[in-house]
């Protein structure tokens, strides 16, 4: 199943390092070429010789030899290995190593390798329950997810400390299955294509401290940009205000207002193959922007009247000026959802529209979504609740198929 796949397995200093022996052996049996990298702490649990025997390759622990008598052929091994791999798996990943990766610390060979790696990275956390549930660890894991790392969630059960709770590294069979599913489903079908993605809200200023905005976090658009890049596309991400980190290998342009987003989208439109408009662009903007902060004492009476004007309709403009691009829009409706989405699809000359469901676990702020994708030719794809990254890949599956069928 994994014939020809090149996998780096990183092992850090946790008791579940012994399980990783079975992971390495399993990946080898499936045909993968496996190279193991260990932290110095990991060698306290399993010897490098064990992993070398199981993998059939040299095991790397230190960046530099202890003495020159042990060898000098070091060079830039972490760079060479980073370019070699199709996938990196870190199992177990301790709280310490997760924290280092999340903050860009490369103080050993493994963490330096992660900083240089170009391929996807899968992380299998393993630690005691209180360490795992600590808000710092949870924030670090969340940060890694935003950076594009894939996480194999730990399991609940009896831990090495004797406590019972979440923190056990996933069993070897589950990790191997995760790796296989990812590698076999991982596609480079968008290589050579240029994709423009918009994300986040726009802010329409009232005065220097107030604005009209919406609840969009940008998570869906950032997931689409990340997935597009991982599948080989050259990606431009135009984002409204958001705290999200830029996905790896993605060109990001920050904007604030709807006019700024319009100008940037139009600037790149003619040179792209696909546009995914996942941003929540404001429909209205104040007619007048006050140069100084409006104070209560400046207002007569109890009410403030704010006159609004319509913003430029970016999707409509793109639909009217298409030159072979595939155009994907988004809709969020609270009533007559399918009917309204179809109407928007037709009026704005879209190829696909992604209808968001507003509810528990779906919509603004969530890491998951429940969507229905409607195509120009009437096909409807109803998706169950899944992560926004998974939704992004479902959208790209449909876009990729259309590209193969003769689009630009």
Q: What tokens were used for 215?
A: 């609840």
Which residue in the list 57, 134, 214, 340 is annotated as catalytic? 214
402 labelled as ligand-binding? no
> Per the annotation, does 283 bind a ligand?
yes
Q: Report how far residue 238's alpha carbon sits from residue 276's, in angstroms, rounded to the nearest whole number.
A: 10
DSSP-derived 3-state class of residue 112: helix
293 is in an annotated binding site: yes
* Bridge partners, 359 (sequence order): 362
DSSP assignment string, 214-271: -S--SHHHHHHHHHHHHTT-EEEEEE-S--PPPPTTEEEEE--SHHHHHHHHHHHHTT
Known binding residue 342? Answer is no
Is 140 in the active site? no
The DSSP call for residue 213 is -
Residue 115 backbone zone (phi > 0: left; psi -120 to 50: alpha; other: beta): alpha
Is 376 labelled a binding residue? no
Cα separation of the two ends of the chain: 33
**Cα–Cα separations (whole angstroms), residue 270 to 123, 189, 216:** 39, 21, 27
**362 CB-side CA count, 13 A:** 18
Residues contributing to the annotated binding site: 283, 293, 330, 344, 348
Which of the residues are catalytic?
A: 214
């Amino acid at each position: 199943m994994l014939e020809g796949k090149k996998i780096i397995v990183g092992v850090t200093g946790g008791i579940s390092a012994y399980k990783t022996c079975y992971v390495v052996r399993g990946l080898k049996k499936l045909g993968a070429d496996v190279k193991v990298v260990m932290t110095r702490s990991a060698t306290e649990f399993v010897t490098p010789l064990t992993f070398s025997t199981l993998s059939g390759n040299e095991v790397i622990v230190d960046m530099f030899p202890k003495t020159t008598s042990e060898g000098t052929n070091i060079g830039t091994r972490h760079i060479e290995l980073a370019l070699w791999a199709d996938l990196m798996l870190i199992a177990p990943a301790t709280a310490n190593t997760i924290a280092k990766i999340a903050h860009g610390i490369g103080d050993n060979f493994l963490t330096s390798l992660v900083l240089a790696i170009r391929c996807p990275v899968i992380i299998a956390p393993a630690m005691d329950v209180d360490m795992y549930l600590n808000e710092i660890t949870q924030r670090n894991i969340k940060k890694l997810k935003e950076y594009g790392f894939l996480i194999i969630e730990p399991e609940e059960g009896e831990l090495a400390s004797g406590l019972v709770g979440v923190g056990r590294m996933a069993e070897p069979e589950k990790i191997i299955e995760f790796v296989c599913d990812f590698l076999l489903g991982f596609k480079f079908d968008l290589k050579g294509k240029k994709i423009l993605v918009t994300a986040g809200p726009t802010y329409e200023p009232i005065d220097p401290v107030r604005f009209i905005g919406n609840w969009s976090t940008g998570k869906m658009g950032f997931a689409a940009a990340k997935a597009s890049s991982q599948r080989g596309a050259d990606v431009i991400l135009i984002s409204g205000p958001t705290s999200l980190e830029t996905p790896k290998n993605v060109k990001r342009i920050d904007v604030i207002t709807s006019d700024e987003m319009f100008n940037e989208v139009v600037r790149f439109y003619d040179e792209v193959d696909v546009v995914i408009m996942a941003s929540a662009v404001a429909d209205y903007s104040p007619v007048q922007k006050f140069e100084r902060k409006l104070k209560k004492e400046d207002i007569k009476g109890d009410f403030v009247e704010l006159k609004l004007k319509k913003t430029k309709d970016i999707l409509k403009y793109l639909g009217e000026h298409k030159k072979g691009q595939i155009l994907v829009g988004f809709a969020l409706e609270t009533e007559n959802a399918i009917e309204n989405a179809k109407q928007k699809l037709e009026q704005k000359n879209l190829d696909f529209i992604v209808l968001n469901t507003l509810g528990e676990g779906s919509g603004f702020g969530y890491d998951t979504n429940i969507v229905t994708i409607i195509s120009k030719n009437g096909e409807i794809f109803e998706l169950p609740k899944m992560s926004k990254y998974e939704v992004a890949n479902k959208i790209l599956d449909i876009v990729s198929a259309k590209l193969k069928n003769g689009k630009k």
